[in-house]
């Protein structure tokens, strides 16, 4: 197979920077014959974005074909899940496709490349994708880097993100903190002090530069106490018990905010009903 690091152009015959394609290689298939890629690294799809893409597809059609492979009497998607979802939402019965014969590890490679090139993966999804290549397909960090067209140090730094506690990974995934914040957190070896820094980022809305400054102070031992007692800790605890989820009350110089965690649409409905009731 053509080197995957060159991107999706390697999969589409006749494609070029000008966007021309060999139409003879493109065919149409019913949507109900195309199954999603089990190796898809992306776990979160923006439904608003899907709806906007569906509206565009209704008006202009699908401008770039999906890439699929034959699997028994069906076909499996390799690249283009957003387009497939949007096409279904737009009411299309068929979509333009290019059929390719690829191995399982190539399905994952191509799916990662498509998402990374379009900045569709959050840092945790990207890191999990690299780890999957290493654990399931015996890739080394060097091979991951070569395949993805990235430096080995970048791949190594992405993988380090997976060593963060679940709460911090969730904050990174939800964009409550950035990858720059996460790198500063990883610089703190002591878990308790790392938690102090994480709380400082959240409660103080620290930017990356401010976070790195606080991290430096912690490493030098200037900040070694646990976070001071929250004034509304008991109230937050009572609310958490009542709502059945994590609650944080964060004070500022004037006022503050109440944060209530939820982990699914169903849980949000339950919490809403609890508060409304």
Which residues are annotated as catalytic?
Answer: 81
For residues 206 and 200, is the Cβ–Cβ distance under 8 A? yes
Burial of 256 (0-12, 13-18, 19+ CB in 10 A): middle
Q: How far apart are CA 82 and CA 109, in angstroms?
A: 17
């Amino acid at each position: 197979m053509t080197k995957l690091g060159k991107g999706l152009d390697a999969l589409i015959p006749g494609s070029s920077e000008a966007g021309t394609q060999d139409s003879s290689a493109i065919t149409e298939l019913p949507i109900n014959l195309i199954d999603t890629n089990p190796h898809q690294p992306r776990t979160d799809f923006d439904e608003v974005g899907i709806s906007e893409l569906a509206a565009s597809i209704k008006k202009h059609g699908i401008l770039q074909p999906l890439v699929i492979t034959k699997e028994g009497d069906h076909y499996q998607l390799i690249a283009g899940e957003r387009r497939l979802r949007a096409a279904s939402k737009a009411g299309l019965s068929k979509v333009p496709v290019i059929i390719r014969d690829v191995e399982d590890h190539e399905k994952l490679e191509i799916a990662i490349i498509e998402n990374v090139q379009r900045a569709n993966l959050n840092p945790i999804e990207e890191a999990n994708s690299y780890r999957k290549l290493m654990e399931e397909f015996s890739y080394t960090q060097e091979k991951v880097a070569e395949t993805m067209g990235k430096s080995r140090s970048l791949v190594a730094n992405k993988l380090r993100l997976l060593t963060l506690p679940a709460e911090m990974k969730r904050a990174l995934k939800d964009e409550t903190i950035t990858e720059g914040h996460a790198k500063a957190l990883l610089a703190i070896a002591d878990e308790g002090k790392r938690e102090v820094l994480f709380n400082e980022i959240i409660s103080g809305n620290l930017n990356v530069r401010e976070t790195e400054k606080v991290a430096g102070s912690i490493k030098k031992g200037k900040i070694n106490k646990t976070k001071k007692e929250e004034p509304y800790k008991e109230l937050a605890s009572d609310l958490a018990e009542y709502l059945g989820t994590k609650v944080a009350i964060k004070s500022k110089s004037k006022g503050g905010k109440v944060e209530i965690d939820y982990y699914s649409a169903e849980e949000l409905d339950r919490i809403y009903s609890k508060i409304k009731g």
